[in-house]
Amino acid sequence: MFKIRSLVTALALASSISVAYAWEALPTEAPAPADNATTAAKVELGQLLYHDPRLSSTGTVSCASCHNTSLGGEDNRPNSVGVNGQTGGRSAPTVWNAAFNKVQFWDGRAASLEEQAAGPVTNPIEMGMASWDDVVARLKTIDGYVTTFEQVFGKDSISKENATKAIAAYERTLITPNSPYDRYVAGDKSALTAQQVRGLEKVAELGCTGCHSGPAFNGPGVFQKFPVIANGTLEASHHFSKDKGLAEVSKKVEDEHLWKVPTLRNIALTAPYLHNGSAKTLDETVKLMAKLQLGKDLSKDETADIVAFLNGLTGEFPKQKFPTLPGTPGKSFTN
């Protein structure tokens, strides 16, 4: 199911990366698959579905509940809250710029946004629907959705495939370009402060870009082991290794503690950090990653410079108009 390149440890990567790293600006559009062209009508339908808690068993949890597009694209909780107050073991990743991920979910088990959109709806902890057949049946009772699906996909077109295509089309519009960093690499050398430039140079010097590479700072699509370097004290306080990452899905010993490399875009807005939300601040996270992935103890000034640079990755958020969901006048949506 998973094709994973041979891992090169971050320590080895650090020796091969120089300050001359090729910095790239974020594209303003995300490519769509051939079978799911992005159209305005499809995006509008996807936005409705993304914000509709009726896709959950209790009618209380939507995609936006955990991936809030009014903020940093997640929920600023260590572990997201699903139906009936249940919590999972992982921190919600941001939906902003997720279109540039090679794989989705922390463990990379979904190869596309369409595949990812299907998962939480029937996860018993997250949105709790028994099956997508039940979701489709519920949507068919809502006249507004019957009409809108017909306009986008044709008559009698409410289905799991079309619902997830619409949600994915909406998510491909959630791009945050023109950060201070983007303006800097485009030629505006005043866009970053002197401290942020020092942080940029330190990130490359240390080898952080060995994993967090490319315009979205999320790597070339391979998985990375975390933590690379064992540390009993930090393990005791943060429990990094309790969750086995990719191996939870693949059931392969060699996949233990492999994770999708998360984007650094807008990272200043997405605390707490790491897959289990165990790092409360960005300063703490920078120091942890240097220690556990690179074997480096950063000074106070080095940490401050890197954090300043990371703050320069906060982009411009496209304005989100909260949608008016199709109603069910005179009846409960569960009827």
Q: CATH number of the domain at 10-27+179-311, out of 3.40.50.2300, 1.10.760.10, 2.140.10.10, 2.40.100.10?
A: 1.10.760.10
Identified catalytic residue from 74, 126, 171, 302: 126
Q: Lowest mean pLDDT: which of 18-22, 142-146, 254-258?
A: 18-22
Q: Where are the domains positioned within the chain?
A: 10-27+179-311, 40-171
Residue 81 φ/ψ, nearest 5 degrees: -105, 125
Evaluate the CA torsion angle 298, 300, 302, 308 in order and state its sign.
positive
Q: Lowest mean pLDDT: which of 13-27, 32-46, 201-215, 226-240?
A: 13-27
Distance, in Å, from the CA atom of 309 to the CA atom of 32, rounded to the nearest integer, reads 30
pTM equals 0.92
Distance, in Å, from the CA atom of 215 to the CA atom of 276, rounded to the nearest integer, reads 25
Residue positions counted in the chain: 335
User: Is 126 designated active site?
Assistant: yes
- The tokens for 141 are 């009772």
Contact between 268 and 202 (Cβ < 8 Å): no
With a CB cutoff of 8 Å and minimum separation 6, the contacts of 144 are: 325, 326, 327
Strand partners, 87: 81
Distance, in Å, from the CA atom of 67 to the CA atom of 288, rounded to the nearest integer, reads 25
Binning pLDDT at 50, 70 and 90, where does residue 22 land?
A: confident
With a CB cutoff of 8 Å and minimum separation 6, the contacts of 104 are: 98, 110, 111, 112, 113, 115, 116, 260
Q: How many CB atoms lie within 10 A of CB 320?
A: 14
Give residue 78's identity as a one-letter amino acid code: P
pLDDT single digits (tens) 210-267 = 999 999 999 987 799 999 999 999 999 999 999 999 999 999 999 999 999 999 999 9
Half-sphere exposure of 267 (CA within 13 A, CB side): 28
Query: What whole-number percentage of the chain has pLDDT above 70?
Result: 93
- The tokens for 232 are 């009993």
Is it true that 10-27+179-311 and 40-171 share their CATH fold? yes
Q: Lowest mean pLDDT: which of 62-76, 105-119, 212-226, 270-284?
A: 212-226
Q: Lowest mean pLDDT: which of 4-18, 159-173, 214-228, 238-252?
A: 4-18
Q: How many CB atoms lie within 10 A of CB 130?
A: 10
- Where helices occur in the chain by DSSP H, the ranges are 10-16, 40-50, 63-66, 113-118, 132-140, 143-153, 160-171, 180-185, 194-206, 232-238, 247-250, 282-294, 300-311
Residue 2 pLDDT > 60, yes or no? no
Binning pLDDT at 50, 70 and 90, where does residue 334 land?
A: low
Query: Which residue in 328, 71, 305, 317 sits closest to 195, CA to CA?
Result: 305
Supply the DSSP string of 299-311, one letter for each residue: -HHHHHHHHHHHH
Distances (CA, A) of 6 to 3, 14, 110, 223, 249: 10, 17, 20, 9, 18
What pLDDT, on the 0 to 100 scale, is given for residue 222? 73
Report, as an integer, the average pLDDT of 267-287: 98
Residue 114 pLDDT > 60, yes or no? yes
Q: How many CB atoms lie within 10 A of CB 293?
A: 24
Distance, in Å, from the CA atom of 317 to the CA atom of 34, rounded to the nearest integer, reads 26
Report, as an integer, the average pLDDT of 66-75: 96
Residue 245 φ/ψ, nearest 5 degrees: 65, -130
CATH numeric code, 40-171:
1.10.760.10
- The tokens for 181 are 């960093």
